[in-house]
Chains A and B, each alone.
Chain A
C-alpha cells in the first residue's frame, strides 16, 4: 500500500448561503485507503462539505479533486467511483431489499448479484423484507450495501451510527473496517469520539465551517496531554459501555 497518496483533495473550499457562511476556506486531503473522520458539532458544515465533495451541492469557491476528477467538470465521472450514504435518506417505496439493490445496480450500470451485496452486510435473511421493516442497524447496513454496488474507490458515510445500540454500533465498525481492508477509502462523520478514536486513521475537526485540527487521533490526544490537560477523574480500565457489552453480549440484536 502506497502511503499518503491523496485520493480527495479539498483546497480553499467556501460555501455561502446568502449571508450565512457554512464552510470557510477549508483545505484538507484524504489519503487513499484510510478511514477519514470529519468531526465537529452540529451545524459546523460537515454534511455540507461532504455533499459538495459528493457533487450533490454547488460550492461558492475553492477546488476539489476526487481521484483526479474535478467536481466542477467531471461530476459524472466522480459519481461513478464514489458510494454515498446520506443522513436520513429513504428508499424507493414498496420494494424489497433485492429489488432495491437491482434498482441501484441499474442506476450505477453495475452488474452484480443482489444477494452477494446483501451477504456483504449480513442481510441475506432480509432479502424479501421492505426497507421500512428493518431495524435501525439493519437500515444503516443496507444503506452501506447500496454504496458498495459500483465497487467505489471512496465511500462517504454521514453519521452512520447515530441512534444505534452499542451492539449494532460495534457491528457497523467491524463492517466499515472490513470495507477499508478490501481497499476502499472511507470518509465518515460522527458525533461519537470513542467511535472516531477506534475507527479513524485520521480525523479533521471542523468548527463553524473552519478546520481547527487535523491529525491521527493518537497525536491529537498526545498533544492535548502534553499541553498539561488532565481528566478530572482518574480513568478506570473500563467504561460503562464496556459494562453494557459485557452484560448484554456482543451478538446483534436484530
Chain B
C-alpha cells in the first residue's frame, strides 16, 4: 500500500476550498466589493475635518497674545509639550499642520512669530496663513507683533486614501475571516461533508489547515488587489514600495489568522446558518465602527476610546497605517503585533473549547 501523505490531503483540501471561495458570491462581495466601494467613495470625497493642528514649539513664549487669539478662532487646536524632534516628525507626516514659535524680540516688547508649514498639509497651512495675516493686521495685536517669518518643511502628503485604505483592508480581512470561516465550517458540518471526510484517512488538523490556507490565500489576494488599486488610482502611499506591500501582507496574514479564530468560535456556537450573521455582526460591527476604519479613534469621546483600544482591528489598522504611510518596519510596530498575538492566543483558546466537528 502506498504510504499515506497528510500533506497531499491538506493541499487537496486547500485547493478545493480555494476554488469554492472564488466561486462564492458572498466571499467576493465582502472581501473585495465592499472595501473597494468605500475606498472609491472616500477616495473621491477627499477632505478632512475643519480643525487645524498647530504645534507650539518648545521654548516658545507662553504669555504672548498671539496664541490666545489663535485659540479664540475655534478652528485651531494647539499642540503643546512635545519636543522639537517630535514636531519635526509630526510635521513631516502632516499630523500637525504647522508649528509656530513665538519669541519676544531682543530689546523690544514686540513679538516675533516664526511659522513652519508643511507640504504634507498645505491646504490647512494656507488657512492658518490667512488667519495669522488677519491677526497681524488686528488693531489690538498689531503693536505687539513685529513680524511673521514663514517657512515650509517638506513632508509627504497625507491623503484621505492613506487613512481609508488600511482601514478598509482591515475590514475586508475581518469579514472574510469571521463570516467566511463561520459559514464554511457550519455548512460543512451540517451537510455532513465533514463526516464524509472523516470516513477517509484525512486528519482533522489537515481539514483545519487546508481551509485556513485557502482562506488566507484568498484574503491576501484580495488585500493585494485593494492595495494595488488604491496605489494606482488614488495614489495610496507606499513609502518603500514593494517592501511596504510585503510588510502589509505579513500583517494581513496575522490579522486574518486572528479573525478566523472568531469564525471557528461562531461556527461552534451557531445552531444553524441563520444564526451566523447576527453573531458575526456582534463581532464585526463594533470593530468596523470603533477600530478607526473610517475615523481616527482620537476623534471619539474619551469614554469610548478604551473600548476602541481593546479591539484587535484597532491594532491591525494602526500597524497597517504606520507601515504603509510612515514607512516603519514590522519591528517598529511590534507593540501592535504583540496585542494581535495576545488576541489570537485568547481566541484560539476559546475556539478549541467550543468548536464542534459534528
Contacts and interface: CB of A to CB of B under 8 A. Distances in A.
A99 B187 CA distance: 19
Contacts of A150: 200
B201 A107 contact: yes
B8 A106 contact: yes
Nearest to B20: A94
Contact of A76 (B5, B12, B201): B201
Interface string A92-126: 11110001101111111110000000000000000
Which range contains the number of A residues in contact with the other chain? 20 to 34
B324 to A, nearest CB: 33
Given A92-B193, A99-B19, A106-B12, 18 more contacts: A54-B199, A56-B195, A79-B199, A80-B4, A82-B199, A89-B195, A91-B196, A92-B17, A93-B20, A93-B187, A94-B19, A95-B16, A102-B12, A103-B15, A105-B12, A109-B9, A110-B2, A146-B196
B192 interface: yes
Closest 10 CB pairs of A and B: A106-B12, A90-B191, A84-B199, A94-B20, A107-B200, A89-B192, A103-B16, A94-B23, A79-B201, A89-B196
Which range contains the number of B residues in contact with the other chain? 20 to 34
Contacts of B11: 106
Contacts of B199: 54-56, 79, 82, 84, 86
A117 to B, nearest CB: 14
Interface string B172-205: 0000000000000001100111011111111000
Contact of B16 (A84, A99, A109): A99
Interface SS majority for chain B: helix
A144 to B, nearest CB: 13
18 contacts: A54-B199, A56-B198, A79-B199, A80-B4, A82-B199, A86-B196, A92-B16, A92-B20, A93-B24, A102-B12, A102-B15, A103-B13, A104-B200, A106-B15, A107-B197, A108-B201, A109-B4, A150-B200
B106 interface: no
Interface in A29-83: 54-56, 76, 79-80, 82
